Amino acid sequence: MSVAKSTHRTSLSGGDYMAAAQAFDQASTRLAVLGNYIENKLPALGVGAEGSTVPIDGVLRVLSVGPGNGSMDIKILMKLHQREQRCIHAVIVEPNARMMERYKALVVKESEIIRGIDFEWRQETLEGFQKSQNGMEDKFHFIVSVSSIYYIDNKERYIQYMFDILEDDGVLMITIMSGTTPSSCWTAWMDLKHVESSQRQEPLINSCDLVKIFENLSIPVSETVHLKYSVNVTPCFASPLDNLPEEANRVLDFLSHMDDFTQNTPVEYQESFLEILGSEDRTERDASGQFLLGQDHVVFIIRGNGSTLRNVRI
């Protein structure tokens, strides 16, 4: 592997993140796999540690933390509404104004099929939301953080906060990338730890880090689910590197978590990154010759009453 040092690094944020995330989702099966999980495996509410069912009365309260454009949130809310047959009050905590607008537009578009769901829009961070509660003890039956835990500051504090505001028989659902699967983005970042300078940011947290946080906080996990999907990275291997298609640039931005990856890093570093992504333990070729990068995300299910740990692979 070539060894190079990065002299310039900027983290993805705002509109750059939105564009990169959209390109990544278009190139991957992530949304389909997560959508299948939501439709067929979304955990039931009101289930005790011993499997007993406890009825939940009144309005179902849902807290969504960093849902982005709402594409997965809507599926979760619709599934909960369909299954519970009760009105839902959904509190949407999203700090990015453009993401929030996209979510609101999606709600308008799907208005005919999401009747019975009332939305409360909170354009702020989870920290801001907690402060705005001003000591109120509102609790939620379902709290969800889909791939947003990376961006929460003081993670232990706010994971504890989410657990504290979870109803006794409610569900806290957090999804995060795996830290154990060789094909994951996280292990690619770790393989690159010797090729970047001290300016390199630490890799985003992964499932192993989250397990340690749960252990430190004595928060019992009732279920872990491993969701496997793939990303078509074929366009990323086109040459020359400074003339890649726009969608390939955006996918590389998302995978590296850098803004304008091909412009902000030396060619040697780009080649090292692509060499790692294209290695046999991460990428396989399908029958048509496409390069498919394997990914593994983990869903942690935490219940207010603390069930025992189970592991499920899909």
What are the backbone dihedrals phi and psi of residue 110, each rounded to the nearest 5 degrees, phi first?
-100, 20
Contacts of 296 (CB under 8 A, 6+ apart): 177, 178, 180, 181, 183, 184, 226, 227, 228
Q: Identify the pLDDT of residue 121.
A: 97
pLDDT in tens, the chain (314 residues): 333 333 334 455 555 777 888 898 899 999 999 999 999 999 988 765 555 555 566 889 999 999 989 999 999 999 999 998 889 999 999 999 989 999 999 999 998 888 899 999 999 999 999 998 875 668 999 999 998 888 788 899 999 999 999 998 899 999 998 877 655 555 555 555 544 543 345 557 889 999 999 999 999 999 999 999 989 999 988 767 778 888 999 998 888 777 888 887 777 778 888 887 887 777 888 878 888 888 888 999 999 864 444 455 55
Contacts of 29 (CB under 8 A, 6+ apart): 229, 230, 231
CB 115 within 8 A of CB 89: no
Q: How far apart are CA 35 and CA 204, in angstroms?
A: 24
Q: How far apart are CA 23 and CA 89, in angstroms?
A: 31
Q: Identify the pLDDT of residue 300.
A: 96
- Classify residue 264 by burial, with Cβ atoms within 10 Å: 0-12, 13-18, 19+: middle
Q: How far apart are CA 155 and CA 185, in angstroms?
A: 20
* End-to-end CA gap in the chain: 34
Q: How far apart are CA 214 and CA 156, in angstroms?
A: 8
Largest CA distance in the chain: 61
CB 297 within 8 A of CB 25: no
CB 65 within 8 A of CB 93: yes
- Hey, what amino acid is at 17? Y
Q: How far apart are CA 207 and CA 227, in angstroms?
A: 12
Q: How far apart are CA 51 and CA 119, in angstroms?
A: 31
Kindly list the structural domains of the chain, giving each domain's residue range(s) and its CATH number in brackets, ordered by start. Answer: 14-42+56-313 (3.40.50.150)
- Hey, what amino acid is at 45? L
Q: How far apart are CA 70 and CA 103, in angstroms?
A: 5
Of the candidates 273, 259, 264, which has an alpha carbon nearest to the alpha carbon of residue 3?
273
CB 232 within 8 A of CB 292: yes
Measured from the Cβ of residue 167, the count of other Cβ atoms closer than 10 Å reads: 21
DSSP 181-235: -TTSHHHHHHHTTTTS-TTPPPPPP-HHHHHHHHHHTT----EEEEEEEEEE-GG
Q: Identify the pLDDT of residue 109.
A: 94
- Hey, what amino acid is at 62? V
CB 262 within 8 A of CB 236: no
Q: How far apart are CA 272 and CA 282, in angstroms?
A: 14
